[in-house]
């Protein structure tokens, strides 16, 4: 497909022509294949972001479950082996609260990633902004998150991307 094909009649136009010589249709700038390519990348980023969010929710559920069972394990004496300055009960409670807190933070990020991915795929500006924020945080999740973050931020900060979003 030529870069300067008339969208109405298919007549080929020269790069400097703004109207089709055959039917008079106004011609868009010859950037359509490139825009199509970028739209493809945006859809891939959205899908990957949603998949990350779902995996994040599963990981959160696992840790939340684990945190909930620490007091039970403690009661069974499984975690009662230490005789340090802190009692094992204090340590177990601290660990349980910490893991539960991390699980909640993970749930929030995972839900934000799923929502941003959906909005991104619908070309909503909130999805673009949200994905850039998620992408920035993802940079620290080596290696998969780093790859996603770099690719996502690279694509979404391209000047031709912003006009695609409402």
Residues 24-53 that bind Zn ion (CB under 5 A): 25
- Binding-site member from 3, 12, 19, 23 for Zn ion (CB under 5 A): 23
Please report whether residue 75 would count as binding Zn ion according to CB under 5 A: no
* 26: three-class secondary structure by DSSP: strand
Please report whether residue 20 would count as binding Zn ion according to CB under 5 A: yes
Peptide bond into 109 cis (omega under 30): no
Q: Which is nearer to Zn ion, 6 or 96 (CB)?
A: 6
- Binding-site member from 2, 3, 8, 90 for Zn ion (CB under 5 A): 8
Quick one: residue 77, left, alpha or beta (phi over 0 = left, psi -120 to 50 = alpha)? left
- Tell me if 14 sits within 8 A of 4, measured CB to CB: yes
Distance CA 100, CA 97 (A): 5
> Which region among 21-29, 53-61, 78-86, 140-148 touches Zn ion (by CB under 5 A)?
21-29
Residues that bind Zn ion (CB under 5 A): 6, 8-9, 11, 20, 22-23, 25
């Amino acid at each position: 497909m030529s870069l300067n094909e008339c969208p109405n009649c298919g007549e080929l136009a020269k790069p400097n022509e703004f109207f089709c010589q055959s039917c008079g249709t106004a011609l868009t700038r010859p950037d359509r294949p490139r825009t199509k390519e970028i739209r493809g990348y945006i859809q891939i980023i959205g899908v990957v972001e949603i998949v990350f969010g779902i995996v994040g929710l599963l990981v959160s559920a696992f840790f939340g479950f684990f945190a909930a069972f620490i007091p039970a394990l403690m009661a069974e004496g499984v975690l009662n082996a230490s005789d340090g300055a802190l009692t094992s009960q204090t340590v177990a409670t601290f660990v349980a609260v910490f893991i539960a807190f991390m699980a909640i933070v993970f749930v929030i990020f995972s839900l934000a990633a799923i929502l941003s991915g959906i909005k991104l795929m619908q070309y909503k500006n909130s999805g673009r902004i949200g994905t850039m924020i998620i992408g920035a945080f993802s940079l620290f999740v080596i290696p998969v998150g780093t790859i996603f973050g770099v690719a996502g931020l690279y694509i979404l900060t391209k000047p031709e991307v912003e006009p695609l979003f409402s």
